[in-house]
Copies of this chain bind each other. A is one copy, B any other.
Amino acid sequence: MLLKSFIEVHPDSHFPIQNLPYGVFNREPGSEPRPGVAIGDYVLDLSVVASAGLFDGPYLRNSDCFYQACFLFFPIFVRASDLNPNLNKLLELGRPAWKEARITLQKLLSAAEPILRDNASLREKALVPMGKVQMLLPIAIGDYSDFFASKHHAKNCGVIFRGPENPINPNWFHIPIAYHGRASSVVISGTDIIRPRGQGHPAGNSSPYFGPSRKLDFELEMATVVGPGNELGKPVDVNEAADHIFGLVLMNDWSARDVQAWEYVPLGPFLGKSFGTTLSPWIVTLDALEQFSLDAPEQNPPPLPYLAEKKSKNYDIALQVSIIPAGQKDAHVVTRSNFKHLYWTITQQLAHQTINGCNLRPGDLLGTGTISGPEPDSYGCLLELTWNGQNPLSLGGTSRTFLEDGDEVIFTGCCKGDDYYVGFGKCSGKILPSPP
């Protein structure tokens, strides 16, 4: 029988009881951050659930991952620093604790369970309408790396910049290529993005162009949120990598293509990327995504042994990008893609990142790279969609090669089950003009 909650959840909702993604929210602007899970149009406040003693399994009973014990024992000495402003402690606990939390919360929210359902005052404290909360960045990100795992994206970039012969570098088929991005400028969905200024390629022998980026783009990505880390010098086995992954979020790796093109030889993208990266607020767990897993594409040439998986999994997550052009009201869909198009899996990415001994820490972020599909209407960035500005997109009476000030870009992601969705909500940002 289908698991149902006593909370009414609309059939189109991304957040049925089968999902229960984790986030961090404010009840009021400036108030202390609290951990929560999304259920229908509500946020369940996990600090309330924890302090009511409802996490009563062996892993979470004595854990302070949702609320520091100090506050519970000595409420008079509470300071802002006593609250966990993020989910990092939960991430560190690992899969057994995450499974316990999932079982506890699915039971607590189920239609048959009276503890919360029949306790009006507890319900009042624990359940907050989603429209009343402000979502915050749910994790403290130690390091953020960004991969290049879609073959369609790698190929399109190669054709655009180097022509149709051998568009993909030979190393790409052996290495889940990646670079380190900027952790400080990762922001939560809804944060405005200020158009970066920077240098662009000089015309002939003149000085380089300097000013607001003329080729501001989005990149449709998802990102792995790392759970337990590994010790420096001790690589993670690819077949155990999933145990180091808490879940996934949507990610927009905003990119200034003119800045990137002029700076990236020989050390890779830097200022073309580091001005802002947007995450969706709800981390959907691997446990919730499991029923939407499918085989990853066959890899040829076969990967080296340290990247060879017993079972190579992707997830069937439909992704969509819309733009609300400046001054308009309606969103126009510009691409429809799917997470399943990735060539290198997230477990291969994680194992590769550690094969040299590099240590991961809870809350680290591994971006997938732009997720383009095979068809032109599934390309994951404007660089590809407009073929570097050659073919403008038409959007409700206006057109775009790259993003203009005032444009808002909205990503959504969603798994479609028979009776419900398991979704990511949205990941959005609006472009503000450069400073003068």
Contact = CB atoms under 8 A, between A and B. Distances in A.
A356 B196 contact: yes
A256 B276 CA distance: 30
A100 interface: no
Q: What is the count of identical protomers in the complex?
A: 2
B180 A182 contact: yes
A179 B267 contact: yes
B263 A358 contact: no
Q: Describe A's contact surface by its main secondary structure.
A: loop
A359 interface: yes
Contact of A271 (B265, B266, B356): B356
Interface stretch (A2-10, A37-45, A168-176, A387-395): A168-176
A190 to B, nearest CB: 14
Query: Range of interface residues on chain A?
Result: 35 or more
Contacts of A181: 180
Contacts of A259: 356
Interface string A157-198: 000000000000111001101111111110100000010111
A171 B265 contact: yes
Contacts of A184: 142-143, 229, 232, 358-361, 364
A268 B267 contact: yes
A386 B83 CA distance: 54
B262 A171 contact: yes
A352 interface: yes
A275 B182 contact: no
Contacts of A373: none
A184 B305 CA distance: 26
A199 interface: yes
Contact of A77 (B74, B267, B353, B364): B74
Q: Which of A199, A301, A356 has the most CB of B within 10 A?
A: A356
15 contacts: A81-B81, A142-B183, A142-B184, A169-B266, A171-B265, A174-B202, A174-B208, A179-B180, A179-B267, A179-B268, A180-B182, A184-B229, A196-B357, A264-B267, A275-B358
